[in-house]
């Protein structure tokens, strides 16, 4: 079917297309019948031997293999590091399902090419500059009552302090916000228990709001901070007007986490350079890394965000760049921020599922520390402070709140939790290991070597109130020798670990060749409910009906001075209009609507040499815009292999040179089809209809209504076949008038709709056969 003849030459086709499809089906059926016996020539033992596998390999394969047509139990969202994207994959298969474009243009999704998505990227402009990349670190799934609800995903950009909102209804980026006061950030995105706020903590201190100050004034003028972005779940957007920040000392704030259950209403942010050291070897000073790890401890910031929100709402703020900031004096007066010494140069701060403990690891300390929330609260209540920092913030003594201190190994970083109460997993960067331990008993339970240099790790729902256990993914920084070499730049390695048993078991290595993922989150697949199509004419980036929505039959081209605006449609296998004629220098705006309702019937659109590209999922309306400043002939076509006649989904943009005059006698090629051509085509169509009737008979006699997938296919096929009526009528009219050329072409168009219907019908038939539908006569 891929080699069906072109629209303009239907007559010379020797074989009826339906019969061709039928033959394909026959061949397929025979292949399916024969194949198992071919495979069974080698048994499992022989394969194990031939491939040099061990029993544990086969077991690992059986634990991770998801047979064709079956689905994964969990879906992971991984940051894509420098790619600026989010990577979506299934667990346990580790099959990559999608790259979601967030901070950078991405052609497949049309992101940054269509006007609608350009508008999203434009929200991320900084100081009038396009920022076409991001360093994504921490994805966060929206939560309800402290557990993932599967509605939204947030991701931060560490390099250019930004947050993005992805709607999990369609896995598309809907919003980017720029932090109004920071110069960079790291401790985002983390969400509160009911996604009231998304937190973003600064990292490298700088004057708030972007002003200049010399490094000599670091202690006085440089500041850190945290921003609480208000989230409006109804609208699915962050609300800058209702968001606020807290000014913090220039301590290099790092990761954050929200409290939950017992510690509800509070948030925690650690820091890694409370020395406030400023390097500068060019000024003869020891480097940052030496000065920033001189002291034994840094500070955990304990913040009462619920109260802070009230203080901000009461207007006790300073406006910086129009954004409300609670200054440190106010924070001290209102009792909003408390510091606790923590092991030096820590990385992760992770609140236990019950919210009772805060787990902190210092990269340069082999212990992981567990702070007790009860003890922290008591110290705050009793005003039991050991000291004040140079800015007057109260410091609670480490010993006052320390519950336990567990030696896990070298370079502990991040912690996640198990479904089993008390059990936690901590990544050991220097040891390249995962430690399994119990934060209640302080006992180390197991250690598993990984390859190599683990950063974050992730368990299923591992940072929620209800971790699911089962699997752990180790997000490794280095792959070194694990995969086939691909040059000096290596992929990253996500290793899947089975944590269901007494001993952790390594199951699978997945190469991730898209930036350096930092954190990932995994949700039960059943909690995600993405749509398969948009309401017809949707601007997918706003979720609203596009004013440019175009219905079948309402396509038009409107000229207004030097502006040419096209309102077109896409449907298998046709772009309307097929010809766009403009003058050199015209501004061309093309709005297209994908009229399809069928699942996965995406069309793409490109015009050669004009950097025009877009993606149209079923129901989507989008716009491309350019100035036709180069005269010439520019083919356009659909970029998705959407049907048997996909190659014919094409057209021409004609850009007439200024002052071009048509020559006398310029005509379309001479018309040439005869009555014989027409009759041959009609015979083909009649034969095709027989095949369709046969397929329909099969489907309707096989309780197809029990299969929603087939019902959708049948609807789609019926729709396609319904479209054949009009060209059929036209063909017959033209034939009656003796216009054989035109009659042949219309008969060809009639046949095309039959071919599409047959194609879909056969897919439905195959589906029924493969799913064991029985005859219901
Ligand atoms: S970070 Cu990179 S491994 Cu940005 Cu959470 Cu720890
Ligand atoms: Cu539409 Cu190819």
- pLDDT tens, 174-225? 999 999 999 999 999 999 999 999 999 999 999 999 999 999 999 999 999 9
Centroid of ligand 1 to alpha carbon of 137 (angstroms): 6
pLDDT category of residue 687 using cuts at 50, 70 and 90: very high
Centroid of ligand 1 to alpha carbon of 773 (angstroms): 50
What pLDDT is attached to residue 39?
52
Centroid of ligand 2 to alpha carbon of 675 (angstroms): 32
Measured from the Cα of 638, ligand 2's closest atom is: 2
Mean pLDDT along residues 684-703: 92
> Cα 569 vs. chain centroid, distance in angstroms?
27
What pLDDT is attached to residue 40?
58
Measured from the Cα of 475, ligand 1's closest atom is: 3
Centroid of ligand 1 to alpha carbon of 415 (angstroms): 12
Residue 34 pLDDT > 70 = no
Listed range (133-147, 399-413, 492-506, 711-725) with the worst mean pLDDT? 711-725
Phi (first) and psi of residue 340, to 5 degrees: -135, 130
Q: Is 284 left (phi over 0), alpha (psi -120 to 50) or beta?
A: left
**Alpha carbons 426 and 363: distance in angstroms, whole number:** 12
The predicted-structure confidence for 263-312, as pLDDT tens digits, reads as follows: 999 999 999 898 888 888 888 888 888 888 788 889 999 999 999 999 99
pTM of the entire predicted model: 0.89
Better pLDDT: 480 or 671: 480
Centroid of ligand 1 to alpha carbon of 138 (angstroms): 8
Residue 29 pLDDT > 80 = no
- What are the E-state strand segments in 648-689? 650-656
Measured from the Cα of 643, ligand 2's closest atom is: 2
DSSP 92-116: TT--EEEEEE-SS-BTTTTBTTSHH
Residue 621 pLDDT > 50 = yes
Measured from the Cα of 347, ligand 1's closest atom is: 6
**DSSP bridge pairs for 496:** 473, 508
Measured from the Cα of 255, ligand 1's closest atom is: 5
- Which ligand neighbours the alpha carbon of 463 most closely? 1
Residue nearest ligand 1's atom 4 by CA: 137
Measured from the Cα of 186, ligand 1's closest atom is: 4
- Tokens representing 189? 């995105």
pLDDT category of residue 33 using cuts at 50, 70 and 90: very low
Measured from the Cα of 602, ligand 2's closest atom is: 1
- Tokens representing 434? 């995962």
Number of CB atoms found within 10 A of residue 560's CB? 8
Residue 665 pLDDT > 60 = yes
All residues at 6 or more sequence positions from 103 whose CB lies less than 8 Å from its CB, including other chains: 84, 85, 121, 124, 131, 132, 133, 134, 136, 157, 160, 162, 164, 176
Better pLDDT: 699 or 17: 699
Centroid of ligand 2 to alpha carbon of 639 (angstroms): 6
Centroid of ligand 1 to alpha carbon of 771 (angstroms): 45
Listed range (21-30, 149-158, 753-762) with the worst mean pLDDT? 21-30
pLDDT category of residue 30 using cuts at 50, 70 and 90: very low
Residue 339 pLDDT > 80 = yes
776, 187, 74, 108: which is closest to 518 by C-alpha? 187
Centroid of ligand 1 to alpha carbon of 157 (angstroms): 12
What pLDDT is attached to residue 294?
80
The predicted-structure confidence for 344-398, as pLDDT tens digits, reads as follows: 888 889 999 999 999 999 888 889 999 999 999 999 999 999 999 999 999 999 9
Centroid of ligand 1 to alpha carbon of 379 (angstroms): 30
Measured from the Cα of 477, ligand 1's closest atom is: 3
Residue nearest ligand 1's atom 2 by CA: 518
- Angle between the N-to-C axes of helices 740-770 and 675-700, in degrees from 0 to 180, rounded to the nearest 10: 20
756 lines ligand 2 (CB under 6 A): no
**Alpha carbons 583 and 564: distance in angstroms, whole number:** 9
What pLDDT is attached to residue 15?
40
Residue 755 pLDDT > 90 = no
Q: In degrees, to the nearest 5, what angle opens at C-alpha 68 toward C-alphas 62 and 73? A: 65
- Tokens representing 218? 């670091």
- Which ligand neighbours the alpha carbon of 155 most closely? 1
Spell out a b/e string for 60-71, using b for 16 or more CB atoms within 10 Å of the CB, else e: beeebeeeeeee
204, 195, 203: which is closest to 231 by C-alpha? 195
Better pLDDT: 288 or 488: 488
What pLDDT is attached to residue 716?
85
Residue 576 pLDDT > 50 = yes
pLDDT category of residue 20 using cuts at 50, 70 and 90: very low
Mean pLDDT of the chain, nearest integer: 92
603 lines ligand 2 (CB under 6 A): yes
Residue nearest ligand 1's atom 3 by CA: 455
Q: Is 277 helix (H, G, I), strand (E, B) or coil?
A: coil
Contact between 496 and 60 under an 8 Å Cβ cutoff? The reply is no
645 lines ligand 2 (CB under 6 A): no
Which H helix or E strand runs over 20?
Answer: helix 17-39
- Which ligand neighbours the alpha carbon of 595 most closely? 2
What pLDDT is attached to residue 712?
86
Find the residues whose C-beta lies inside 6 A of ligand 1: 137-138, 186, 255, 347, 413-414, 455-456, 518-519
**Alpha carbons 43 and 45: distance in angstroms, whole number:** 6
Number of CB atoms found within 10 A of residue 703's CB? 15
Centroid of ligand 1 to alpha carbon of 643 (angstroms): 44
Measured from the Cα of 575, ligand 2's closest atom is: 1
Q: For residue 365, what is the DSSP state?
A: S
What pLDDT is attached to residue 609?
97
**Alpha carbons 339 and 341: distance in angstroms, whole number:** 7
Residue nearest ligand 2's atom 1 by CA: 603
Contact between 370 and 349 under an 8 Å Cβ cutoff? The reply is no
The predicted-structure confidence for 76-90, as pLDDT tens digits, reads as follows: 999 999 999 999 999
**Alpha carbons 581 and 161: distance in angstroms, whole number:** 44
Centroid of ligand 2 to alpha carbon of 647 (angstroms): 7
**Alpha carbons 724 and 527: distance in angstroms, whole number:** 41
640 lines ligand 2 (CB under 6 A): yes
Measured from the Cα of 601, ligand 2's closest atom is: 1
**DSSP bridge pairs for 626:** 588
The predicted-structure confidence for 428-451, as pLDDT tens digits, reads as follows: 999 999 999 999 999 999 999 999
Centroid of ligand 2 to alpha carbon of 121 (angstroms): 26
Mean pLDDT along residues 130-159: 98
646 lines ligand 2 (CB under 6 A): yes
Mean pLDDT along residues 415-423: 98
Break the chain down into helix, strand, coil percent, rounded to 5.
25, 35, 40
Measured from the Cα of 603, ligand 2's closest atom is: 1
Centroid of ligand 2 to alpha carbon of 307 (angstroms): 55
Centroid of ligand 2 to alpha carbon of 566 (angstroms): 19
pLDDT category of residue 4 using cuts at 50, 70 and 90: very low
């Amino acid at each position: 079917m891929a080699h069906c003849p072109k629209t303009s030459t239907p007559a010379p086709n020797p074989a009826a297309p339906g019969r061709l499809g039928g033959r394909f089906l026959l061949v397929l059926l025979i292949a399916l019948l024969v194949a198992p016996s071919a495979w069974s020539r080698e048994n499992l033992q022989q394969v194990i031997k031939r491939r040099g596998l061990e029993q544990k390999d086969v077991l690992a394969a059986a634990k991770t293999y998801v047979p064709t047509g079956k689905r994964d139990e969990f879906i992971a969202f991984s940051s894509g590091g420098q790619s600026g994207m989010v990577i979506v994959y299934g667990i346990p298969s580790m099959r990559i399902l999608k790259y979601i474009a967030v901070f950078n243009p991405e052609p497949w999704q049309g992101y940054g090419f269509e006007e609608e998505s350009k508008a999203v990227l434009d929200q991320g402009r900084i100081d009038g500059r396009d920022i076409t990349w991001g360093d994504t670190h921490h994805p966060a799934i929206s939560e309800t009552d402290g557990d993932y609800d599967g509605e939204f995903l947030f991701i931060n950009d560490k390099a250019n302090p930004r947050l993005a909102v992805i709607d999990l209804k369609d896995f598309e980026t809907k919003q980017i916000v720029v932090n109004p006061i920071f110069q960079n950030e790291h401790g985002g995105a983390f969400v509160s228990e009911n996604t009231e706020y998304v937190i973003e903590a600064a990292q490298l201190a700088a004057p708030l709001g972007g002003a200049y100050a010399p490094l000599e004034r670091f202690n006085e003028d440089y500041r850190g901070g945290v921003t609480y972005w208000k989230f409006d779940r109804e609208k699915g957007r962050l609300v800058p007007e209702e968001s606020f920040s807290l000014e913090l000392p220039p301590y290099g704030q790092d990761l954050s986490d929200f409290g939950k259950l017992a510690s509800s209403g509070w948030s925690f942010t650690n820091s890694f350079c409370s020395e406030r050291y400023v390097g500068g070897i060019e000024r003869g000073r020891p480097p940052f890394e030496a000065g920033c790890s001189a002291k034994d401890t840094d500070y955990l910031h304990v913040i009462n965000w619920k109260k802070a929100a009230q203080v901000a709402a009461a207007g006790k703020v300073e406006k910086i760049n129009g954004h409300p900031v609670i200054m440190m004096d106010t924070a001290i007066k209102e009792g909003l921020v408390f510091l606790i010494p923590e092991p030096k140069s820590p990385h992760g701060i992770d609140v236990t599922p019950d919210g009772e403990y805060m787990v902190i690891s210092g990269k340069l300390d082999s212990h992981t520390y567990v702070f007790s929330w009860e003890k922290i609260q008591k110290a705050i209540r009793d005003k039991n402070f050991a000291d004040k920092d140079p800015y007057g913030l109260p410091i609670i003594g480490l010993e006052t709140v320390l519950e336990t201190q567990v030696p896990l190994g070298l370079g502990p970083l991040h912690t996640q939790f198990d479904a089993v109460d008390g059990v936690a997993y901590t990544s050991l960067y220097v040891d390249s290991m995962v430690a399994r331990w119990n934060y209640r008993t302080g006992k180390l339970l197991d250690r598993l070597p990984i390859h190599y240099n683990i950063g974050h790790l992730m368990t299923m729902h591992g940072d929620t109130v209800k971790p699911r256990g089962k699997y752990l993914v180790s997000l490794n920084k280095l792959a070194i020798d694990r995969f086939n070499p691909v040059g000096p730049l290596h992929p990253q390695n996500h290793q899947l670990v089975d944590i269901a048993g007494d001993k952790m078991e390594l199951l699978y290595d997945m190469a991730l060749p898209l930036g350096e993922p930092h954190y990932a989150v995994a949700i039960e697949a059943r909690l995600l409910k993405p749509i398969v199509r948009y309401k017809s004419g949707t601007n997918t980036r706003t979720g609203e009906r596009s004013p440019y929505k175009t219905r079948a039959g309402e396509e038009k081209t409107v000229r207004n001075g030097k502006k040419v605006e096209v309102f077109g449609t896409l449907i298998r296998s046709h772009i309307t209009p097929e010809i766009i004629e403009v003058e050199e220098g015209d501004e061309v705006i093309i709005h297209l609507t994908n009229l399809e309702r069928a699942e996965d019937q995406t069309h793409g659109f490109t015009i050669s040499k004009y950097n025009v590209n877009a993606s149209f999922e079923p129901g989507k309306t989008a716009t491309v815009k350019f100035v036709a400043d180069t005269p010439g002939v520019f083919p356009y076509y659909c970029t998705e292999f959407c049907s048997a006649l996909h190659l014919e989904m094409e057209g021409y943009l004609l850009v007439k040179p200024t002052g071009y005059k048509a020559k006398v006698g310029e005509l379309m090629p001479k018309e040439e089809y005869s009555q014989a051509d027409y009759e041959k085509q009609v015979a083909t169509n009649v034969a095709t209809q027989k095949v369709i009737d046969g397929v329909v008979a099969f489907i309707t006699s096989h309780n197809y209504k029990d299969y929603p997938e087939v019902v959708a296919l049948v609807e789609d096929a019926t729709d396609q076949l319904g479209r054949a009526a009009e060209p059929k009528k036209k063909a017959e009219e033209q034939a009656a008038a003796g216009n054989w050329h035109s009659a042949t072409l219309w008969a060809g168009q009639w046949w095309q709709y039959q071919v599409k219907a047959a194609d879909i019908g056969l897919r439905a038939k195959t589906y029924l056969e493969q799913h064991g539908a029985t005859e219901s006569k």
